């Protein structure tokens, strides 16, 4: 059974997909830029209340990684 997509959006050239996680109070975030990708789980509370900060961290990790896969948050 596939996880339900909650939201999709872009941070510049980074595509972000937010889906349900196995734990009911968490979400799964998958961010990709070309072939580089990063996946992690986050608390729904953190995503709802620290959305901008989380996006800044995602962008920063991709920028630090260059063409490789960034470290997860």
Spans of all domains in the chain: 5-65
pLDDT tens-digit series, residues 14-56: 999 999 999 999 999 999 999 999 999 999 999 999 999 999 9
Query: Which is more confidently placed, 73 or 26?
Result: 26
Mean pLDDT, to the nearest integer, of 3-9?
Answer: 92
pLDDT at 2: 58
pLDDT above 50 for 1: no
| Residue 71 falls in which region: left (phi positive, over 0), alpha (psi -120 to 50) or beta | beta
DSSP β-bridge partners for residue 19: 5, 28
pLDDT at 15: 96
């Amino acid at each position: 059974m596939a996880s339900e997509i909650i939201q999709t959006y872009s941070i510049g050239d980074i595509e972000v997909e937010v889906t349900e996680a196995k734990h009911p109070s968490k979400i799964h975030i998958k961010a990709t830029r070309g072939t580089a990708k990063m996946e992690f789980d986050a608390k729904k509370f953190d995503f709802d209340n620290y959305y901008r900060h989380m996006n800044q961290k995602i962008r920063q990790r991709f920028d630090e990684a260059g063409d490789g896969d960034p470290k997860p948050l």
